Structure formats: C-alpha cells, structure tokens
Structure 1
Amino acid sequence: MFAPRALLTLVVAGLLVSARAARAGELYSYVDDDGVMHFSNAPTDARYRKLGKKATAGGVYRATAQARALPLPRAGAQDRYVEHIRAAAAKYRIPEALLLAVMAVESNFDHRAVSEKGAVGLMQLMPGTAKDMYVADAYEPAQNIEGGARYLRILANMYDGDLVRTLAAYNAGPDAVRRAGGEVPDIPETREYVRKVVALYEAYKAGR
C-alpha cells in the first residue's frame, strides 16, 4: 500500500488499533504544509498535538485529489448485504465502514464479480485465500463477507493494527509487504487501492 508508510490523510478513528498499540501510550499528530498528517507516539516537532484514544497506528497517508473526490457507489448498492456486514464486523471487530469501503473498491458490491487474476465475489477473495478463510462458496455473499473480514482481522493483528499496511497486504499480499521491508510495496495499483479505500472509509464514517 504506499511508499514507505507514505499516506493517510485522516485519523482513522478507532480502527484496528491493537491492544498492544493502545498500551504503547498516547499518539500525537500534526498536518504539515502539504496537507500530510503525521503520527507519532514520541513527538519531536512542536506542531504535534495529542490525539484522543481513538486513533490509528503511526504512518502518513497522502490522499490524491482523485481519491478524495472518489464518488460512492450508487445509493443502496450494499443494502442487501447489511445483515452480513454487521455480523462479520462484530465477529471480527472490523468497522462496518471499513468493510463497506473494501467491498466498494474491490467489487462495487457485485457478488458475481471475478477479477482477471481470479479473485471472486464482494471482497474479491483469491481461491487460496477463500480456502484458508473457510469459504466454501466465494460467490455466496455471507461466506465471502465473513471470509474477507476474517482475513482483514488476521492482517490487522499481523501489523499491530496499522491500517495502511493491513490494506496493502490485503491488496498485494503479506509477502509483498515483507519484501518491501514491512512498508507499502512500490506498486502503483496497491498505492491507489489504499488511497481509495481510506477515502471511502472516511466517507462512509461521515455518512456520505
């Protein structure tokens, strides 16, 4: 997902913050002249201000104008899946808004969607990932959503609740993040993917 942790425009309130991260202490942030929000638990710049308890792990995310202006899918596209989304979000402690954002970018809420690489369904699960997440039928909405939420939870735990790396790994795979030294792989598709998901996540949280 993005250059050396290069990208997150807004504090991701309450998102995927692991217990360990929460115990690590308070987080601080500031927005520089370029509109980039910086995070740290050991502030070294006078511009840092303490965040509330609901904050994301460290990192910087610069959303492009395209990502910030990204329109939401047509109204009501996700309505038929609300029950499944709520159940999966509660079970795996993933914000409903995040599941909606991932689904919107992955498949635009089309449970029949199939990518050129063979990813299937609402959360675009690859066959191997679907199997690992105990998804017997990736075209079946409830199974696909639960499988995607389960995978997001596993990745969130792997990266100590860091949203940027979690989404990068969801898109490009944990191996790609590892090869990038634990940072966002230098893959344009992955960088833009994370930008879009974060922008939509913020929009869904705001009720837009």
Structure 2
Amino acid sequence: MDDASHVRRAAREAVRDVDPGAFRDAIETVVESGSMAPGVLVVLSARAADEPVGFETVATRAAGTQLIYEGLRLTRALAHDAPWEDGDTDANLDVLVADVLVARGFYLLARTEAAERAVETVRAFGRDRTAASPADDPVGPLEADVLDLALVAGLTAVDAHPSAACREFVADLAGSFDGELPPADDAFDPTTRESLAAHVDTRVQPAGVGSATDP
C-alpha cells in the first residue's frame, strides 16, 4: 500500500467512531475526494530526516493534518459558492462535516509539537476568509499553510525541525500548483521527493517552531 492509501485509511479510522452512520458517511466522502498530499508530506518529511521511519510512527500526525485540510477546504468552498442562496439545505450538513473534520484534526495533533502550528493555520485561514469576498479567487494561502503544518508535523515526529530553506521550498511548491492540491503522487514525484530530502536539515532547531514566521 502506498503512502497516500495509508493516509486515507488513517484519516478514515480517525472518524470511524462518529455517529450517526449517515453523518460518518458524509465525512468519509469528503476524505475520499481530497488530495492526500498534506498527510503524505508528513510521512515524507519524517522519512527524509530519519530514513527508517515507518508509517505507524507518523500515522496520527498525518491523519490530523489531512483532516484539518479537508475541513478547511470544504469551508472555503462553502464560503465561495454560497449554496444557501440557491436554497441548498445540504450545505447545512456540509458545515457540520467541515467542523468535525477540523475538530478531529486538532484532537489528533493536540499533544504534538505541531499543535501550535495547527492553531495558527486555522487562525490564518479565518483571517483570509474574513477579508475575502465571494467574488475573490477561492484559492488563497491555505495550501501553503497546510503544507507548512505537514512539514512541522512530520519533522518534529523524529525530533527534527524545518530550516528556513526547507519551509521556503515547501511554500514555493504549494505556489506552483494551480488551485487545490493535486493528488499526492503528482505533488511529490521522484524529483520533488529528492529535493525535499535535500532541503531537510535536522540540525536546525529554531525556537517557537509553531509559528509560521519562524526562521
């Protein structure tokens, strides 16, 4: 099973206890439809710093990062499309789904070194959406923020921290995508994986790693 499949399975397992079943199905539909790139980056980051790392070591962090992205991605789509204006009552369910995804993602990252970065990711998203209008491009800095969160979550799992160069590389990668994140295999082709590994520097341990502006 490849990394994307592992992440998807871990994300589904993280919401397996949600009831009722129909609501859980709606949550899993969102998880199934999204790119697994955030969760896969958690895995790749940890592996780049510590080659023997298995998926089990970072499964919780990968799932938490993935769920936060899915929840915020859905929230952004709802804010941009304004489905209520067309009388779409299904959007009410989508709002609850988005809330549960973000909340469960927070729960999974709460006791990790990435917790503060997760909070800042959601706060930044809120600021961006507050300033945006429905006519604005729905794609903003969310992808870059989430990939930075993934980088922090993955590296801190193996007692490493991202250097400024590594964070810049991931930010540039996010900016290279046209719209939402592509499938993980497209986002992280062999060349990109090699470049990521080259940028990972386990010797750099900046203070306050949770901040998006850390060096």
Q: Specify the TM-score bucket, using the shorter chain as the normaliser.
A: under 0.3
TM-score normalised over the length of structure 1: 0.27
The normalised TM-score by structure 2 is: 0.26
Which one has the bigger strand percentage? 1
Q: More helix by proportion, 1 or 2?
A: 2
